[in-house]
Structure 1
Amino acid sequence: MTDSPLERWDRHNGVVLAVASLLFLASYAVRVLGHDLPGPVRTSCLVLILASWAVFAVDYVIRWRLSGQRLPRFVRTHVLDTLVLLLPLLRPVRIVRTYETVQRHRDRPRLALHARVITYAGVSVALLGFAGSLALYQQERTAPDADIVTYGDSVWFICTTLSTVGYGDLAPVTPLGRLVTVGVMACGLALLGAVTGSFSSWLIQVFAREGERPPGNPPGASDHEERDD
């Protein structure tokens, strides 16, 4: 089977995009949390942020050209890529695709489907929570009558929001802060649903195999018999 140019590009640029994503997130974190850092350091971080975003933009343009589609159709069929380009803080979540890209060079993935879903969701939650807490803290810390005035408050609020618990002890007061919260809520529900669905599917498969095993057959016996045959 011959890969298309777009598939070959996706396979070979995964590590570069992952590094750029981590660099973007680290530089953004330093700018948000390093209030007392010297001006040149903060300027350097801004340059790294813009350079990382330029890498994302070049990747988007190349993917569009290799797809052979007109731009409006490409945007409609690649909504997530477009969203990530417009909201670069979501880009680190795409780091989880690096594992899948590496596995394409092998005959099969090392992890089963259910384990991969849970692993990807866990990494996505961690990265999304970190990026969301930074964005929320940046918007809320200087707002009048703000509840979220420290980075610890922001982390606590994002954790309760991602887990869909929502204690209600803290709340954003700025429009952008509330917009960040809505995005975190949506992503939290989607990731929680993916993990719950994958875990439920795995349990159903386990119980189904147990039900199909003949009475008196110890677990794994049928597997050994099949291998002997």
Structure 2
Amino acid sequence: MSARTPAPPPPALTRWEQRTEVPLLAAALVFLAGYAFRVLAPHDAQPWHDLSLALVGATWLLFVLDYAVRVRLSGLGPGLRFIRVHWLDTLVLVLPLLRPLRMVQVYTAVQEKQDRPRLGLYARVISYAGMTAVLLGFSAALSVYHWEHDAPGTSIRTFGDAVWWACETLTTVGYGDVVPVTAGGRIIAAGLMACGLGLLGAVTGSFSSWLIQVFRREDEKEPPASG
């Protein structure tokens, strides 16, 4: 028996997503900038700390408004059904620093406004997985530095240490020279490891499929051997 295909989203919800994904991505970058300033700036940098807090709060309210509109347009109601179907929207609302995970959907919304796509499918997956990895790595470095730099016995004392740790974790290398010791830092590490495995799988799978298609086309171009 064939698997049941999910119902397509309502047209109104699709139009809303296409119109708002790019502006909301810009809002997410503002959120990330505000959060980065609060984490990295000196404690006495006033009134900039208050301004960054206002930016973080304002952009998060935009995410709440967007989530409420998605719930209304989906026709699923505000219960568990919407959360189960649109789990990524809920996750991004709770943890806005994970919004880069919607990068591929952003690209789809932009491409639908163009006459034809500029890149092949595999190149798109690779390039946007790379952009997502950079933004996620930077977000994770900020978060783990916020939790770790003052913790007793920590090896992540500077933001440079946090960036190095994020690179190790995303690439699944894990030298072990810098590791989180707090509960918050370890939760961030677990999430980043899961994202790193998913992104690495997407990139390697797309690259392998691209190579197979290239070899297949080359074989089709070769003239048949004469008897």
Shift of 1:206: 1.1
Q: Deviations over 1:151-202 (max 9, x none)?
A: 0100001101100100011110000000000011000000000000000001
Matched, 1:182 2:190: yes
3-state DSSP of counterpart to 2:123? helix
CA distance in 2 between partners of 1:51 and 1:95 (Å)? 22
Structure 2 counterpart of 1:12: 19
CA distance in 1 between partners of 2:203 and 2:130 (Å)? 9
Shift of 1:96: 5.0
Structure 1 counterpart of 2:39: 32
Structure 2, unmatched stretches of 5+, are: 1-9
Which is worse superposed, 63-72 or 92-101? 92-101
Matched, 1:194 2:202: yes
Aligned residue identity for 1:49 = V
Structure 2 counterpart of 1:69: 76
User: Which of residues 118, 130, 134 is equivalent to 1:122?
Assistant: 130
Shift of 1:89: 1.1
Structure 2 counterpart of 1:82: 90
Matched, 1:149 2:157: yes
Query: TM-score normalised to the size of structure 1?
Result: 0.89
User: Which of residues 50, 56, 61 is equivalent to 1:49?
Assistant: 56
What is the aligned-residue identity percentage? 55
Report the number of matched residues.
215
Which is worse superposed, 176-185 or 14-23? 14-23
Structure 1, unmatched stretches of 5+, are: 218-229
Shift of 1:37: 4.5
CA distance in 1 between partners of 2:101 and 2:36 (Å)? 15
Q: Deviations over 1:77-115 (max 9, x none)?
A: 011111111111112443554332121112432111001
CA distance in 1 between partners of 2:84 and 2:104 (Å)? 23
Which is worse superposed, 54-63 or 11-20? 11-20
Aligned residue identity for 1:184 = L
CA distance in 2 between partners of 1:110 and 1:122 (Å)? 17
CA contact (8 A) 1:21 1:95 kept: no
Structure 2 counterpart of 1:206: 214
Aligned residue identity for 1:6 = L
CA RMSD in angstroms comes to 1.6
CA contact (8 A) 2:104 2:125 kept: no
CA contact (8 A) 2:148 2:180 kept: yes
CA distance in 2 between partners of 1:130 and 1:161 (Å)? 12
CA distance in 1 between partners of 2:12 and 2:118 (Å)? 26
Which is worse superposed, 190-199 or 98-107? 98-107
Query: TM-score normalised to the size of structure 2?
Result: 0.90
Aligned residue identity for 2:207 = F
CA distance in 2 between partners of 1:215 and 1:174 (Å)? 63
3-state DSSP of counterpart to 1:13? helix
Structure 2 counterpart of 1:227: none
CA distance in 2 between partners of 1:40 and 1:177 (Å)? 28
Structure 2 counterpart of 1:172: 180
